[in-house]
Structure 1
Amino acid sequence: MSRTLQGVLLQLVALALFVAMDALLKVLVASYPVPQLMFLRFVAHTLVVVVALRLITGSVPWRSRAPWLQTLRSATLAVANAALSVALIHVPLADATAVMFAAPVLTVALAALWLGEHVSARRWIGVVIGLLGVFVALRPPFLTGEPLHWAMLLPLVTAVANTAYQLLTRRLATVDDPRTTFVHTSLAACALTGLAQPFVWVTPALSDLPWMLLLGLIGATGHSILVLAFARAPASILAPMSYTQLVWAGLAGVLVFGDWPDGWTLLGAGVIAAGGVLVALPQRRRPRPDDAGERS
């Protein structure tokens, strides 16, 4: 199995875990403040990663060659989760997920501009189509005749933060040991969300504590797998795999919350997926000058 294929499979597993985490989060935000859930999630995340590394590898390599990049990456994760958590209070999971899919197309574009990854003309067309799909999923008033719900803009904030997070993950894969990135994923996020606790804390019910711990466990596992994926494959290849979340989010919305995606969500998701297919198809290998001589 090639390293790129390994990266794609790891990415798919991580994405399924993220949808499960979002569904559990949507249940919990009905009873607890968003900053508290974020703090508990990141604390549990940190503990799970540190204990797992200690037990499996015998060490916790926390020293980074790029500590400020690690801090920025963790902070973008906190922003992405906070924006999505607030959005899930007001809009269905499938709707928020569809709008959030500005992230993969932005990742492809910025991977070319910042990381220098080659992106073909066909993939750029896919990026444009994907963004048009996100625009449809937002339900602009001139299409639907209804005012745009302000909470539908929050998944766009999540998309931008997720784009930065994925690109920083890819960049750090060339700088730090993946285990170091595992450890740093939630450190700055813990500090940021911890500042709000004196103002928002609500004592959790004992019956809810296992679900809060599970939130951190799923997050730790998913983001650790994501780091391994980006260490094996380019960001421009992995980003389109995120479209599989549309399927899982739709199923979770129906099965857990009884929220059926409406026509605008399905249309937007379909356009986004079409753009994703164009981006995900392998690029043709450019012929080398010596190929002709080898065939003669």
Structure 2
Amino acid sequence: MFLFAVGWFVVENVFGHRIRQPINLLQIVWCRYLVHIIVVMLVFHRQTFWRTGRPAYQLSRSVLMLTMPLGFVAAMLAGASGGQAWAGFWVAPPLMLVFGWLINHEPPRPMIVILACISSMAAIAVIGSFPSLEILPVTGSIIMAASFAAYVAMTRSLQSEQIATNLFYTAMVPFVVLAPVMPFVWVTPGLHDAFAIIGIGVTGFVSLYFLDLATGASPIAFTAPILPLLAVFPLLTALGDTEGFPTWSALFGATAIIAVAAFCLLSGNQKSRALS
């Protein structure tokens, strides 16, 4: 889960910030999953990754990878700032516990619920922006968060499938549904932006590979409180910047997130030793 968060940070804050042209977000999403599918074909070319015993379930899960960015777009179009949209997203860890309970029948312990809520509130403190109080913007953020949380829970319920199959179907719905839109929003990227978009696609693939491993390795209750580490990485890069030095509330929030993640890791190791 930690490596998944690192990958997501690289997608958003490294390659995403390298794009110079005003390229529509829908084009970036479509190109990302085009690259994703190509990588699946190259890496798993010796496997029958397109074969699945649960095609409807796989495609339903893939829809969530489309509704997630659309939720972000909807929040922004409704008037939310980027900070407000992301602050609203941080209801995702508690929602992960809810969907893990509903889909995988894994009820979380009260302590885990508390830790997930603490970690979520700490992530909002790190961002330094509160979710929008208006209905439409906050609804877009909640759609974004719920899509991700449900995707994680559904991925855990697909442990009987090959990882290659899961990764292949993850990209199918965003790629197919957004393809007809491309002629209306397409901007031919320059060489620099093309490499940045390829970086988004490849890193996104690797990140989702680690997420698949994480969901298969343990219940969602273990990984949900760790997700807000994603909010800490941009803060760490700002520590060396004297002009953009983080606020004390952001540093306090980051400390709380790291403490929660460390607690989850240590408690998980203790359980592993007890079982062995």
TM-score where L is the length of structure 1: 0.73
Contact 1:14 1:225 (C-alpha < 8 Å) held by counterparts: yes
Instruction: Find the aligned partners of 1:85 and 1:51 in 2 and give their Cα distance.
Output: 31
Instruction: Find the aligned partners of 1:259 and 1:31 in 2 and give their Cα distance.
Output: 25
Residue number in structure 2 paired with 1:161: 147
- 2:175 pairs, out of 180, 184, 190, with 190
Is 1:64 the counterpart of 2:55 in the alignment? Answer: no
Instruction: Find the aligned partners of 1:127 and 1:203 in 2 and give their Cα distance.
Output: 42
Query: Residue deviations 1:127-155, cap 9 Å, x none?
Result: 444565577765368xxxxx879767644
- 1:139 pairs, out of 130, 133, 136, with 130
Residue number in structure 2 paired with 1:19: 9
Q: Which amino acid aligns with 1:12?
A: F
For structure 1, which segment, 72-81 or 83-92, has the greater mean C-alpha deviation from structure 2 after superposition?
Answer: 83-92
Q: Which amino acid aligns with 2:61?
A: R
Residue number in structure 1 paired with 2:35: 44
Contact 1:41 1:216 (C-alpha < 8 Å) held by counterparts: yes
Is 1:171 the counterpart of 2:162 in the alignment? Answer: no
Instruction: Find the aligned partners of 2:221 and 2:162 in 1 and give their Cα distance.
Output: 21
Instruction: Find the aligned partners of 1:77 and 1:253 in 2 and give their Cα distance.
Output: 30
Is 1:121 the counterpart of 2:110 in the alignment? Answer: yes
TM-score where L is the length of structure 2: 0.78
Residue number in structure 2 paired with 1:105: 94
Contact 1:103 1:162 (C-alpha < 8 Å) held by counterparts: yes
Instruction: Find the aligned partners of 2:201 and 2:240 in 1 and give their Cα distance.
Output: 22
Structure 1 residue matching 2:228: 3-state secondary structure: helix
Contact 1:83 1:155 (C-alpha < 8 Å) held by counterparts: yes
Residue number in structure 2 paired with 1:217: 202
Q: Which amino acid aligns with 2:64?
A: T
Q: Which amino acid aligns with 1:65?
A: G
Instruction: Find the aligned partners of 2:218 and 2:117 in 1 and give their Cα distance.
Output: 23
Instruction: Find the aligned partners of 1:126 and 1:29 in 2 and give their Cα distance.
Output: 39
* Change in CA separation of 1:127 and 1:206 when aligned onto 2, cut-off 3 Å: closer
Contact 1:139 1:148 (C-alpha < 8 Å) held by counterparts: no
* Change in CA separation of 1:210 and 1:119 when aligned onto 2, cut-off 3 Å: same
Identity level (%): 21
* Change in CA separation of 1:83 and 1:280 when aligned onto 2, cut-off 3 Å: farther
Q: CA deviation at 1:27?
A: 4.6
Q: CA deviation at 1:218?
A: 0.6
Query: Residue deviations 1:238-285, cap 9 Å, x none?
Result: 1222121121132357789x8665567666666777777777773898
* Change in CA separation of 1:251 and 1:153 when aligned onto 2, cut-off 3 Å: farther
Query: Residue deviations 1:137-189, cap 9 Å, x none?
Result: 65368xxxxx879767644332111101101110112x312221121111111
Contact 2:229 2:257 (C-alpha < 8 Å) held by counterparts: no
Which stretches in structure 1 are left out of the alignment for 5+ residues? 1-10, 142-146, 286-296
Contact 1:129 1:274 (C-alpha < 8 Å) held by counterparts: no
* Change in CA separation of 1:202 and 1:255 when aligned onto 2, cut-off 3 Å: farther
Which stretches in structure 2 are left out of the alignment for 5+ residues? 272-276
For structure 1, which segment, 28-37 or 129-138, has the greater mean C-alpha deviation from structure 2 after superposition?
Answer: 129-138
Residue number in structure 2 paired with 1:235: 220
Instruction: Find the aligned partners of 2:192 and 2:34 in 1 and give their Cα distance.
Output: 19
